[in-house]
Structures are given as C-alpha cells and as structure tokens.
C-alpha cells in the first residue's frame, strides 16, 4: 500500500502556477501576481571598463511584502543568480532601508511593501565586442501577507555598446537615496555583551528623531528583533558568540516628516562589558542557530529508502501478472528458444538483451524525473498536498487511473505507433530482443501507468542516486521472470496460465487506486473545507462520464474532445471557485498540551534549559496520524512527558509554511513525519525514527537528565 500513497508528480509538475508567479511551485492564490519582478538599467548603453547599475524591481500587490537581506523573526530574502555576457561581473545586491513589520505573536520582520528596487553594480570588461549584451537574472523570493508564497522567475535586460546616457534616472535616484549612507553617521555606537545576545548603545543621535536598529548577523548566526531601552538596543542572539566582532547593524534615523536615513555600523568596536569566562561564553544548552545545521550529518533514513526499494521491486514483479504483460512472457521465451535453436546459452543471452531493453526504458524515466527535478528544484515531499490546485489535479489523475484499471477505458498506443514499434521489436537477434524488452514495457502502459506515476511522485523529491536506484529496482522486478525462465525454459510449465484471474487482479488494483483517491479527498476537505470537498466529488462524477465516453465511442478524436470538454467545464464550474478563496491559517494546536512551533519559542525555551519534543506533522500524513493515535496519545507517554517537564511543540505542515519548511531543510529532510527531542545538555537534538513506538519515546526520555 505504501507506494500507492505517493503523488503522480509527472503530470502535476507540468501544471502552471495559478498565482501567476513565474515558476512558483506552491503559489496557488488566484488573481494578479503578488510580486512581479523586472530588470532595469541606469544607462542606455555600455562603455568598456565603465561600471553601471541594474536594478531588480519588484512590484508588490497591496497588503503583500518582500523581505530585506536579514528578514527578522521569519521569512527569507530574495536571491539572484546571474547569467552575464563573457567578461562582465556583478556585485552584491544593495539593500535599501527596510521597514519593521509586527505580526501576531510578537513576530517582527524587516520588509519592503508596494515597490522596491534592489541595485546591483555591473562591471564591464576592458574591451567590448559589438553586442548586443543580454543580462539574465534567475530570481527566487518569498512574498507574504497572511500567508507566504514562494516565487521564482527569470528576468532579462538587453543593452548595446556605445556612449552611456542616463536611463530610469528618477527611479534609481529615489532608491539610491534610500540606501545606507556612505558618509559617517551623526552618532556613535558602543557595542557590548548581554547574557543571551549583544547590546548597541546609540549616543549623539539628533533629538526628536526616531532611532531604529536592524541587526545584520554574520554567516552562521541569527538574531531576534531588538528591544530598546532608552537609546540602548538589546539584540537577543541565542547560540551566538558573545563577541560582537563580525556583526553589523543598520541604524536608521527617521525625522518627524517621515524622511529616513540609515548607516551600516560595524560590530568590532571596543566592548565595555567585562569579558566572560570560557564556560560563560558557551551557551549552557548548546542551542544551535536556527539557520545553522547541527554538527552531525543527517540524511534520510536508509530504512525508509530500503522499504521503498522493496515495494518498487514487488511492484515490478506484479506488473508481469497484468493482462497486458503476462501473455508476452511465455510467448517471448518460446520465441527466444526457437531463435536459439534450443541452445541454452544463446537463449539466456537473448533474455539478457530483453532485460536490457526493460532497464533502458526505466532509465529513460529516471532521466525524465531528474529533468523535472532540475526544473522544479527545491520541491519538497508534501507540497503537492499543500497546494489545492495540485491536490485536485492529483485526485483527478488517481481517480482516472483507477477507472482505467477497472476497465472503463483503456490507455493504449496509437495504431500506427504500436504497429511500427511492434515491427521493429519483432526482428530476430539481440537487437530485436532489446527493442522488444523496451516495447513490452511501453505496451504495458495501460497497466503500468498508475504504478509509474506513483513512483515518479516519490522519486521527484529524491537525489539522483536514489532516483536511479528506484527505477532500476522496478526494472529488476519486472525482468526477474525473464532471467529465470531463459536460464531454464523448462520452468515455463510452472508459469500461471493467462485467464480471467488476471483481469480480476487488475480490477482489484483499480479499487485500491480509488481508495487512494478517497483518502486524498479527505486531505482536500481537511485543508479547504466541506464546500471544496463537495465540489470535487461532483467534478469526479463528470470526469467519470468523460472516461466512459472514451471507452465506448469508436471515434477516438471525438471521445477525447468530449472528455476534455467535460473535464475543463466541470473543473471550472464545480472546483475552481471553491478552492480559489484563501482560508484562515490552520492552528497547530491539537490540545492544551501542545504549543505551535516557532524557532523563537524553541530558542527561548532551550535557553531556559527545558527539554523539548517537536512533532513535524500534517493532516495528509498517514504515518503521522498512526504515530499520534498509537503512540503520542497514550497515557503512559503523556505522563512521561509531564514527569520530565518536556515542552511539546507541534510543527503543523498541513498547509505550506516556509518556517517549517526551512527547519526541515536544516535537518536534511523533505517531508513529514519527523521528530526531534532536545535535551538541555546536548548541542544537537536527538532524531527519533519515523515510526514511533512507546518504547522508543520512553527510552529517549530516560536519557534526559533528572530534574
């Protein structure tokens, strides 16, 4: 059952983002794009060795914001990857002054609203060809309002060589004036240490002007929002070294008129506080920075991949029992025997060539998956359940595959294509055997499509080695009978005879696939409400009628036209409006015993020396629900948590949450369930297995220090 629960991403990753953000996987809000990027230049032409600026401009929808270089308590700054003409170099992004935005839960972020231009200096080479010159920027960003949407897209700009003339002067002047000032600031700063962070004292700032401080931590460190007492700002920085060297801060002065000026100040000034001892300089609980991975290398559990490979192997074996494959097995082995003139060695070699064709087919699928992975880099296992547009497409695909297995319609190759491939593969010799192996796998599409789609859904989120391992394992399972039978053709008498039982087996698997569709409908209802669930059920009825028409009409062209018309109209009428409206964020609490996960709360509680158990879960995660019902809800486990004073935190990933996504990535994970136990005296958390048992939890808790 487990592989049947993975998504059919081969189809779904081809769906466009409904939000209008270029390439924005996971961005599903309808209407105009929430962030529109563009690339502008401050010159009309380029001269050799004469630097100029390009600006990455974002226009933001009302109520939405983009993040500064250090986003604050949550969020992520825009990223850019340049593709420049030969010899050109790009500098770092210059960040205009941000605004501080306070959200519920005492969350402060540093943001831009409305519009922002991020200037970047471009340095041409000493000699220029004639041109034109194309500058391309591959962008990734988060745009947020009440929810956060990831976005990505490519923007480009074309310039020619010649005498430079100013361009976009008003826009660049406006945003250059909002950059940190190069002149010395009209105040002095004094850095110091605090018990859990740093202090910045601002002296000499003009009277009547508001002072703001935006910390800029060094690489590998993080900071919470500053707290001001008089003109001294305290920057909580759990886990950071107490020496301010390497830190920076943006100090902004705002006049009563609203005009703002800012200066970047270095954190390497003399420290007034007495130096702490070595023991004091070490965080007593060894809190790792939320942006820094633990020292231990964490990889997906090998037993998880092993179980997937085992399921893939069994699935490959099972494919040989399908009506469109099993009859080929005996016929082909007999054909090999006739070709070889009863020579056992040649029969076996022909069998190896046939299996090589099977492996070649699945190798092609593996390469296709890696291509999808390259196009949609950064995909996480689970995003398909968090995006209602993708989820409804997933439900539709699974439902249609189930009807296919039940015999409502058949997935077949076109007549001309099938006959030509069959003619090629019917040739004798090793080449013909190889082609017949690939053709047999392709011909079995009507039976293999559901399984291949499921495997693609899981494999698209795996590294390249795992992708090839998964598909080679399926090929091995499908090839095994051919290897065994060609090594000893007399075993053919033990092969099951084709008959009605094969069609029954296929139909049973159809009901299994429909069961997966019902489970996915539950996921949709939990995430989007009863109205979307009702609309999706109505649409599936329309989709079923379309599939039935494909199965009964003789004209394939007319049948496909009517089916697509029903699918498009039904989706627009029954589904589109019900999932278009944003829903209120789902609370992470399941009872009074649990608190929502946040890196800030985690760092605060760790600083207090309290043990913490973090449950990364989602409503669509079956393993999560099994663990919650069979283990975490047991009285003995609840009592053990209470005895050890463990804080229970729930990271609910039912709907996409960039903070939880980032935390999973920090530990090398792409999905849930995932469980962490933080001990007061350990620098890194204990990673618990995905399958929880009371024994596992109790043994882990017993290792906590007594209180």
Domain positions in the chain are 34-176, 188-281, 305-529, 594-702
Backbone phi, psi, residue 682, to 5°: -115, 135
Instruction: Kindly report, residue by residue over 48-88, the tens digit of the pLDDT.
Output: 999 999 999 999 998 889 999 998 877 788 999 999 999 99
User: Can you tell me the distance from the alpha carbon of 419 to that of 661, in angstroms, rounded to the nearest whole number?
Assistant: 49
* Amino acid 326: pLDDT: 53
- From 410, 434, 286, select the one nearest 361 (Cα to Cα): 434
Which two three-digit tokens encode residue 281? 């300089």
Lowest mean pLDDT among 47-61, 197-211, 445-459, 645-659: 445-459
| Residue range 391-400: mean pLDDT, rounded | 81
Is residue 28 pLDDT above 50, yes or no? no
Instruction: Kindly report, residue by residue over 235-292, the tens digit of the pLDDT.
Output: 887 655 456 777 889 999 999 888 999 999 988 644 444 333 333 333 333 333 333 3
Lowest mean pLDDT among 165-169, 350-354, 473-477, 570-574: 350-354
Q: Are 121 and 51 in contact (CB under 8 A)?
A: yes
Lowest mean pLDDT among 280-289, 405-414, 636-645: 280-289
Q: Are 465 and 17 in contact (CB under 8 A)?
A: no
Whether the CA torsion 290, 291, 296, 298 is positive or negative: it is positive
* Amino acid 228: pLDDT: 79
* Amino acid 461: pLDDT: 53
User: Can you tell me the distance from the alpha carbon of 360 to that of 233, in angstroms, rounded to the nearest whole number?
Assistant: 64
| Percent share of the chain, pLDDT over 70 | 68
For residues 357-377, one letter each, b for 16 or more C-beta atoms within 10 angstroms of the residue's C-beta and e for the rest, the string is bbbebbbebbebbbebbeebe
Q: Which helix (H) or strand (E) holds 438?
A: helix 429-443
* Amino acid 313: pLDDT: 83
CATH number of 594-702: 3.40.30.10
Task: Compute how many other C-beta atoms are within 10 angstroms of the C-beta atom of residue 526.
Answer: 16
Is residue 100 pLDDT above 80, yes or no? yes
Residue with tokens 């498009």: 568
Q: Which helix (H) or strand (E) holds 53?
A: strand 52-60
Q: Are 345 and 443 in contact (CB under 8 A)?
A: no
* Amino acid 676: pLDDT: 94
User: Can you tell me the distance from the alpha carbon of 503 to that of 161, in angstroms, rounded to the nearest whole number?
Assistant: 70
Residue of higher predicted confidence among 381 and 660:
660
User: Can you tell me the distance from the alpha carbon of 363 to that of 220, in angstroms, rounded to the nearest whole number?
Assistant: 40
Crossing angle of helices 326-340 and 464-487, in 10° steps, is: 60
Is residue 44 pLDDT above 90, yes or no? yes
Q: Are 109 and 100 in contact (CB under 8 A)?
A: yes
pLDDT, the chain, mean: 74
| CATH for 34-176 (1.10.260.40, 1.10.599.10, 3.30.565.10, 2.60.40.1250) | 2.60.40.1250
Q: Which helix (H) or strand (E) holds 352?
A: helix 344-375
Which two three-digit tokens encode residue 63? 């109520």
Model confidence at 456, pLDDT cuts 50, 70, 90, reads low
Residue with tokens 């099972």: 318
* Amino acid 275: pLDDT: 38
| Percent share of the chain, pLDDT over 90 | 21
* Amino acid 494: pLDDT: 57
Backbone phi, psi, residue 448, to 5°: -90, -15
Whether the CA torsion 44, 47, 50, 54 is positive or negative: it is positive
Given this chain, do its domains 34-176 and 188-281 carry the same CATH topology?
A: yes
Is residue 136 pLDDT above 80, yes or no? yes
Q: Are 7 and 369 in contact (CB under 8 A)?
A: no
User: Can you tell me the distance from the alpha carbon of 42 to that of 68, in angstroms, rounded to the nearest whole number?
Assistant: 22
Is residue 97 pLDDT above 80, yes or no? yes
Which two three-digit tokens encode residue 99? 């605004």
| Residue range 298-309: mean pLDDT, rounded | 53
Residue with tokens 């005879």: 497
Model confidence at 175, pLDDT cuts 50, 70, 90, reads very high
Listing DSSP states for 105-156 in one string gives: TTEEEEEEESEEEEEEEEE--SS--S--EEEEEEEEEEEESSSEEEEEEEEE
Lowest mean pLDDT among 240-254, 492-506, 597-611, 625-639: 492-506
Model confidence at 335, pLDDT cuts 50, 70, 90, reads low
Is residue 24 pLDDT above 50, yes or no? no
- In terms of phi and psi (left: phi > 0; alpha: psi -120 to 50; beta: otherwise), the region of 382 is left
Task: Specify whether domain 188-281 bears CATH 2.60.40.
Answer: yes
Instruction: Kindly report, residue by residue over 677-702, the tens digit of the pLDDT.
Output: 999 878 889 999 877 888 999 999 98
* Amino acid 38: pLDDT: 95
| Residue range 107-129: mean pLDDT, rounded | 92
Instruction: Kindly report, residue by residue over 517-551, the tens digit of the pLDDT.
Output: 887 787 777 666 777 888 889 899 999 898 898 88
As a whole number of Å, the CA-based R_g of the chain is 31
User: Can you tell me the distance from the alpha carbon of 327 to that of 151, in angstroms, rounded to the nearest whole number?
Assistant: 49
- From 25, 54, 60, 35, select the one nearest 136 (Cα to Cα): 54
Q: Which helix (H) or strand (E) holds 468?
A: helix 464-487
Torsion of CA 522, 528, 532, 533, to 10 degrees: 10
* Amino acid 125: pLDDT: 93
First-to-final CA distance of the chain: 44
| Residue range 164-176: mean pLDDT, rounded | 94
| Residue range 32-47: mean pLDDT, rounded | 91
| Residue range 578-599: mean pLDDT, rounded | 63
Backbone phi, psi, residue 250, to 5°: -95, 115
Length of the chain: 707
Which two three-digit tokens encode residue 567? 């699918």
* Amino acid 109: pLDDT: 86
Backbone phi, psi, residue 579, to 5°: -110, 0
User: Can you tell me the distance from the alpha carbon of 294 to that of 299, in angstroms, rounded to the nearest whole number?
Assistant: 12
Backbone phi, psi, residue 273, to 5°: -70, 150
Q: Are 474 and 455 in contact (CB under 8 A)?
A: yes
Question: Long-range CB contacts (< 8 A, 24+ apart) of 584-592?
Answer: 585/146, 585/147, 585/655, 586/527, 586/619, 586/652, 586/654, 586/655, 587/652, 588/650, 588/651, 588/652, 589/650, 590/628, 590/650
Task: Compute how many other C-beta atoms are within 10 angstroms of the C-beta atom of residue 196.
Answer: 19
Q: Which residues pair with 45 in a beta bridge?
A: 160
Residue of higher predicted confidence among 35 and 149:
35
| Residue range 17-27: mean pLDDT, rounded | 36
Residue of higher predicted confidence among 484 and 294:
484
């Amino acid at each position: 059952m487990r592989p049947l629960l993975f998504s059919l991403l081969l189809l779904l990753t081809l769906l466009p983002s409904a939000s209008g953000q270029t390439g924005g996987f996971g961005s599903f809000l309808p209407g105009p794009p929430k962030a529109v990027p563009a690339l502008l230049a401050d010159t009309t032409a380029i001269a050799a060795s004469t630097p100029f600026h390009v600006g990455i401009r974002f226009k933001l929808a009302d109520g939405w914001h983009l993040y500064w270089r250090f986003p604050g308590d949550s969020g992520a700054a825009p990223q850019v990857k340049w593709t420049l003409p030969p010899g050109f170099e790009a500098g770092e992004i210059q960040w205009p002054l941000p605004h501080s935005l306070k959200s519920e839960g005492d969350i402060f972020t540093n943001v831009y609203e409305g519009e922002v231009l991020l200037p970047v200096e471009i340095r041409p080479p000493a000699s220029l060809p004639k041109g034109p010159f194309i500058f391309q920027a591959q962008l990734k960003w988060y745009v947020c309002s009440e929810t956060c949407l990831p976005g990505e897209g490519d923007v480009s700009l074309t310039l020619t060589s010649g005498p430079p003339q100013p361009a976009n002067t008003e826009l660049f002047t406006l945003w250059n004036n909002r950059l940190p000032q190069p002149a010395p600031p009209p105040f002095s700063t004094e850095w110091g240490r605090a018990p859990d962070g740093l202090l910045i004292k601002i002296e000499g700032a003009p009277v009547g002007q508001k002072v703001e401080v935006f910390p800029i931590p060094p690489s590998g460190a993080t900071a919470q929002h500053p707290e001001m007492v008089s003109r001294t700002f305290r920057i909580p920085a759990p886990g950071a070294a107490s020496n301010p060297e390497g830190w920076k801060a943006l100090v902004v002065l705002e006049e009563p008129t609203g005009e703002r000026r800012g200066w970047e100040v270095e954190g390497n000034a003399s420290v007034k506080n007495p130096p702490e001892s070595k023991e004091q300089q070490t965080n007593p609980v060894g809190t790792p920075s939320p942006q820094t991975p633990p020292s231990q290398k964490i990889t997906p559990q090998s037993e998880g991949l092993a179980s997937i490979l085992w399921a893939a192997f069994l699935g490959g074996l099972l494919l040989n029992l399908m009506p469109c494959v099993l009859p080929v097995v005996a016929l082909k082995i007999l054909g090999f025997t006739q070709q070889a003139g009863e020579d056992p060695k040649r029969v076996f070699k022909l069998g190896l060539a046939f299996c090589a064709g099977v492996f070649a087919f699945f190798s092609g699928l593996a390469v296709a998956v890696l291509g999808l992975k390259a196009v949609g880099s950064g995909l996480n296992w689970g995003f398909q359940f968090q995006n209602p547009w993708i989820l409804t497409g997933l439900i539709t695909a699974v439902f249609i595959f189930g009807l296919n297995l039940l015999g409502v319609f058949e997935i077949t190759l076109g007549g001309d294509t099938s006959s030509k491939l069959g003619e090629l593969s019917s040739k004798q010799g090793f080449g013909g055997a190889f082609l017949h192996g690939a053709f047999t796998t392709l011909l079995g599409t009507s039976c293999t499509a559901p399984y291949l789609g499921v495997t693609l859904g899981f494999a698209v989120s795996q590294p390249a080695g795992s992708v090839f391992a998964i598909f080679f394992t399926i090929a091995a399972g499908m090839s095994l009978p051919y290897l065994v039978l060609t090594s000893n053709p007399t075993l053919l008498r033990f092969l099951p005879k084709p008959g009605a039982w094969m069609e029954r087996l296929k139909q049973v698997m159809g009901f299994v696939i429909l069961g997966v569709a019902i489970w996915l409908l539950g996921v949709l209802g939990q995430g989007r409400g009863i109205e979307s669930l009702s609309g999706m059920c109505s649409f599936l009825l329309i989709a079923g009628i379309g599939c039935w028409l494909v199965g009964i009409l003789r004209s394939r062209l007319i049948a496909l036209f009517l089916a697509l018309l029903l699918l498009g109209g039904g989706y627009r009428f029954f589904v589109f409006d019900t999932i278009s409206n944003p829903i209120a964020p789902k609370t992470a609490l399941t009872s009074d015993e649990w608190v929502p996960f946040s890196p800030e709360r985690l760092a605060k509680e760790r600083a207090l020396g309290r043990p913490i158990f973090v449950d990364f879960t989602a409503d669509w995660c079956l393993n999560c629900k099994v663990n919650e019902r069979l283990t975490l809800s047991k009285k003995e486990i609840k009592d053990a948590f209470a005895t050890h004073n463990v804080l229970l935190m729930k990271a609910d990933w039912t709907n996409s949450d960039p903070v939880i996504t980032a935390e999973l990535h920090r530990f090398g994970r792409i999905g849930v369930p995932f469980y962490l136990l933080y001990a007061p005296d350990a620098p890194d958390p204990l990673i618990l297995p995905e399958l929880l048992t009371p024994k596992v939890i109790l043994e882990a808790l017993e290792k906590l220090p007594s209180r």
